[in-house]
Amino acid sequence: MSAARLKKLGREISACQRCPELIEWCARAGREKRRAHADYNYWAGPVPGFGDPAAPLLILGLAPGAHGANRTGRLFTGDRSGDFLFAGLHRAGFANQAESLEPGDGLELSGAWISAALRCAPPGNKPTREQINTCLPFVERELNAMPNVRVILCLGGIAWNAALKLMAERACPMPRPRPRFGHGVELQLPASATDKGAGLAPPLLIGSYHVSQQNTFTGRMRPEMLDAVLQRCREVCALPPVEITNG
């Protein structure tokens, strides 16, 4: 049932036209292509989430890269950020292979679903608040279709703030001051009155520095740091630990 709902939602996301300026930017990137991808037929539009529909872990990124997911049509696929992320997911037992170049390359996720706060590539990787607010209901609908989610791993401060907004809109009591983003920071929000009555609890939010080149090339984000947060995700999700030998 979850798989069917997510597939239908994916088609809706792919056809979204709610932010004309972003649709044009994605199309422009597809027309102007980098030299290395001159012969590639760009996706050039909103990118749906993907992964295991029964996953207890939802990984929330920022947005597609103009020449990564906006090119391939699959989040984190085809750029350096994805190289770093998928290598970590493979080490942690969430992915069957350590790299992903394009859809159809054999990548499969187990126990994880990859989403994003924004589904279109924004200019300069800097989305506006209005764009995030317009797109965030797609993540809400993913969560509604995935009752097993126990952890939302937020890659970067924008994803963290988007997850907080999402939880607030679900009527989860929000502490004051507003919880700040940080690598390894965890936040377990109280359930809303409705969820509490139904015996439900919000997912645990875990922060992680983004896997962007700005962080990975400078050493701010290192493989062992990603390994640690992914192992923590496995622990909270009640998944068996994985021994990491090459992190």
Token readout for 51 is: 């992964």
Phi, then psi, of 219 in degrees rounded to 5: 85, 0
Model-wide pTM > 0.75: yes
Half-sphere exposure of 174 (CA within 13 A, CB side): 15
Give buried/exposed letters for 95-122 (b at 16+ CB in 10 A, else e). beeeebbeeeeebebebbbbbbbbbbbb
Mean per-residue pLDDT for 38-58? 97
Token readout for 139 is: 């993540």
pLDDT at 197 over 90: no
pLDDT at 147 over 90: yes
The pLDDT assigned to 199 comes to: 76
pLDDT at 200 over 90: no
> Which pLDDT tens digit goes with each residue over 148-172?
999 999 999 999 999 999 999 999 9
Note the Cα 156 to chain centre separation in Å.
10
The pLDDT assigned to 247 comes to: 46
Report the distance separating Cα 205 and Cα 239, nearest Å.
17
DSSP 3-state of 186: strand
Contact 117, 61 (CB under 8 A): yes
The pLDDT assigned to 246 comes to: 57
Contact 230, 88 (CB under 8 A): yes
Mean per-residue pLDDT for 13-31? 97
Residue owning tokens 């992915």 = 95
Domain 2-236 class? alpha beta
